[in-house]
Chains A and B, each alone.
Chain A
């Protein structure tokens, strides 16, 4: 009996050690961001050949100097504002276009709806890296170079397919009876969508908002291709590209920007992860 208990105890310890190993690998760069953000320069820029200076901990008092520099002497606040503008515009376009499309595919479209749904999903696989060169040409022809509008127009090309697919899955899980009942009560088919379905679809729409937000925050290549002025950049472009003076990176401010941007996104993402997985696994896990 005691041997059995010992085995169980050993297993428990094993699980913790393994879990900690994975978490350490995943979280290490964030620990490094946080440490760098608050370290004084004299603590930060010590050659790694100096084995007596332990880089893993604070060797001098923490400082807010890097964050102060970031918010007062760089364009970071402007980038946050630009990102917010693009996010709001793209979210609006995506919700207005993707929610009805997802409903149509889930409920109204017959046999061709299935194929159409898969077709829309497959366009999500056509990556920006294949399209940025022709887009650079189109954006120039439209006169949108170096304008946030170029991003507002182009970003829905990947948010709409992905969100239509997410919304379609969501509407399939809303019980059909509710809609039938409303139609018996005399609502038209369109009336049912606006008065009944949308009310139940609020969590689904919220998911669309969250994933549009994260997809826009992640985007880099279109922004890099279209935007050249520092004051028009988004966060994910400006931080890696423009927080450099000459050849010198401001690592403290740079890691501060990365940290501040990451924390809210990580929290939001964590709350919506399960729905995201459901969308991506194409129902393969439900078998």
Chain B
């Protein structure tokens, strides 16, 4: 049987506003163009500059091959900066993972006043980093350091600590500030990951008599691994590529002993006007970024396959 009138057949419309594949490209184009032009071109330029003797202020330069890299690699200040970058990046991630996991275990519990405590916990991540670093510079002041006063009063300190005036203490101060800045962020990420731990498995383990540590290492931490990895990968990028903490806290001193790659690149490339050498130093950050990028790609792929 036929209905007197069937569903109305719309003629296929071919206006611009309906062509999905074209629309998709047009809407995406500005973002891709902006990024391609203003990230892509400088990135290529950074590589080209590192093979040149370009100096700020003059437009002429010539190719010098690998001589910037050769100069940099035989420079003890650079080797120290590279080593410092590795030390700080690794130490900060280890401390942040331990602190963030512990903090997440605590903040998982429901207790009165949790909201306000969470607010204070997140402060280091929310506030402009340069302003926070100035507060730490003041806290570590050579004459007025409250840390020294407190240690003295507690009877734990007999001499005097020149926090920002010694290579070792300077690096420790840098690590403290970086850990302080990153652990709240990592805590929030790990907390989000805790919701993915299946409670029935945990309960079954409690039934079977598994103690706190066993539960932690054999059930909870394996479930948390992907999320902790995300926190660590971001942490690597944020720590290794950060310039403001070292620049404002120690300025790379004393005697260039606490430089990291970004501050040394700034000193040589911008303050020293040697763009070629500065670019070469900065490019040594690429291995850190590659580790992070590959790690994130693997996680993104896995979560895609795992999702329903």
State whether B20 touches A108 (Cβ < 8 A). yes
Q: Which of B86-94, B213-221, B282-290 contacts A (4 or more CB under 8 A)?
A: B282-290
B28 adjacent to A100 (CB under 8 Å): yes
A287 within 8 A of B: yes
Q: Is the CB of A23 within 8 A of B226?
A: no
Interface string of A214-236 (1 = CB under 8 A from B): 10011011001100000000011
Q: Is B165 close to A, CB under 8 A?
A: no
Given A22-B106, A270-B122 in contact, is the A287-B307 Cβ separation under 8 Å? Answer: yes
Write the chain B residue with the least CB distance to A216. Answer: B128
A189 to B18, CA, bound (A): 5
Q: Is B5 an interface residue (CB 8 A)?
A: no
Instruction: Tell whether A131 pairs with B46 under 8 Å between CB atoms, given A27-B120, A113-B24, A189-B17.
Output: yes
In the assembled complex, how far is the CB of residue B155 from the closest CB belonging to chain A, in whole angstroms? 10
A138 to B44, CA, bound (A): 12
Q: Binary interface profile of A, 150-181, with partner B (CB < 8 Å = 1, else 0)? A: 00011011001100100000000000000000
**Which residues of B sit under 8 angstroms from A164, Cβ to Cβ?**
31
> Number of contacts between A and B (CB, 8 Å)?
332
Stretch at the interface among A59-67, A199-207, A277-285: A277-285
**CA A131 to CA B243, docked complex, whole Å:** 13
Least CB distance, A236 to chain B, in whole angstroms: 4
Q: Contact string, B80-108, partner A, CB cutoff 8 A, digits 1/0?
A: 00000000000000000001001100110
Complex interface: chain B residues within 8 A of A249 (CB): 138
A196 CB to nearest B CB, Å = 13
Contact with A along B27-69 (1 / 0, CB 8 A): 1101110110011011101100100001011000000000000
A19-B103 Cα distance, complex, nearest whole Å: 7
Q: Which residues of chain B in 186-201 are interfacial with respect to chain A, using CB atoms and an 8 Å cutoff?
A: 187-189, 192-193, 195-196
Contact A26 B43 (CB under 8 A): no
When C-beta atoms are compared, the residue in chain B nearest to A18 turns out to be B106
Most buried by B among A33, A221, A286: A221
The reply to whether B56 and A254 contact each other, CB–CB distance below 8 Å, is no
Which listed segment binds A: B71-79, B167-175, B262-270?
B262-270
Which residues of the partner chain A approach B118 to less than 8 Å between Cβ atoms?
270
Contact indicator A134/B279 (Cβ below 8 Å): yes
Interface SS majority for chain B: helix
Q: Is the interface of A mostly helix, strand, loop or mixed?
A: helix
Q: For the complex, is A45 an interface residue (Cβ under 8 Å from B)? A: yes
Residues of chain A contacted by B119 (CB below 8 angstroms): 266, 270
- Given A239-B131, A255-B138, are A273 and B193 neighbors across the interface (CB < 8 Å)? no
**Contact: A46 with B144, CB < 8 Å?**
yes
Q: Are B153 and A240 in contact (CB under 8 A)?
A: no
Contacting residues, chain B, for A261 (C-beta < 8 A): 127-128, 131
Known: A32-B139, A97-B30. A266 touches B127 (CB 8 A): yes
The answer to whether A240 and B282 touch across the interface, beta carbons within 8 angstroms, is no
Closest-by-CB residue of A relative to B184 is: A26
Alpha-carbon distance A235/B43, docked complex (angstroms): 27
Distance between Cα atoms of A191 and B243 in the complex (Å): 45
Contact B300–A129 (Cβ < 8 Å): no
Q: Is the CB of B23 within 8 A of A108?
A: yes
Which of A47, A55, A191, A282 contacts B296 (CB under 8 A)?
A282
Q: How far is the CA of A158 from the CA of B145 in the complex (A)?
A: 36
Q: Is the CB of A285 within 8 A of B143?
A: no
Count of B interface residues, CB-CB < 8 Å: 116
**Contact status of A127 and B270, CB under 8 A, knowing A19-B117, A134-B45, A286-B307:** no
Assess A125 versus B289: contact at CB under 8 Å? Given A22-B121, A26-B121, A156-B38: yes
Contact A47 B27 (CB under 8 A): no
Find B266's partner among A154, A221, A284 (CB 8 Å cutoff): A221
Please, which residue of chain A has its CB at the minimum distance from the CB of B33? A97
Q: Considering the chains assembled together, what is the distance between the CA atoms of A129 and B284 in angstroms?
A: 11
Return the CB mask of A97-133 against B: 1 if under 8 Å, else 0.
1101101110011100110101011110111111111
* A281-B227 in contact given A130-B283, A161-B35, A262-B131 (Cβ < 8 Å): yes
**A190 interfacial contact with B, CB 8 Å:** yes
| A-B contact sample (19 more), CB < 8 A, given A273-B122, A283-B304 | A26-B184, A30-B120, A48-B144, A48-B149, A101-B28, A105-B28, A108-B23, A108-B24, A110-B21, A161-B31, A189-B18, A189-B20, A190-B17, A236-B128, A254-B134, A270-B118, A280-B230, A284-B303, A285-B193
For this complex, 7 residue pairs linking A to B, each with C-beta atoms less than 8 Å apart, are A18-B103, A51-B152, A101-B31, A225-B270, A237-B130, A239-B130, A251-B138
Residues of B at the A interface (CB closer than 8 Å) are 13, 15-21, 23-25, 27-28, 30-32, 34-35, 38-39, 41-43, 45-46, 49, 54, 56-57, 99, 102-103, 106-107, 109, 111, 114, 117-136, 138-139, 143-146, 148-150, 152-153, 160, 180, 183-184, 187-189, 192-193, 195-196, 226-227, 229-230, 234, 237, 241-244, 247-248, 261-262, 265-266, 269-270, 275, 278-279, 282-283, 285-286, 289, 292-293, 296-297, 299-300, 302-304, 306-307
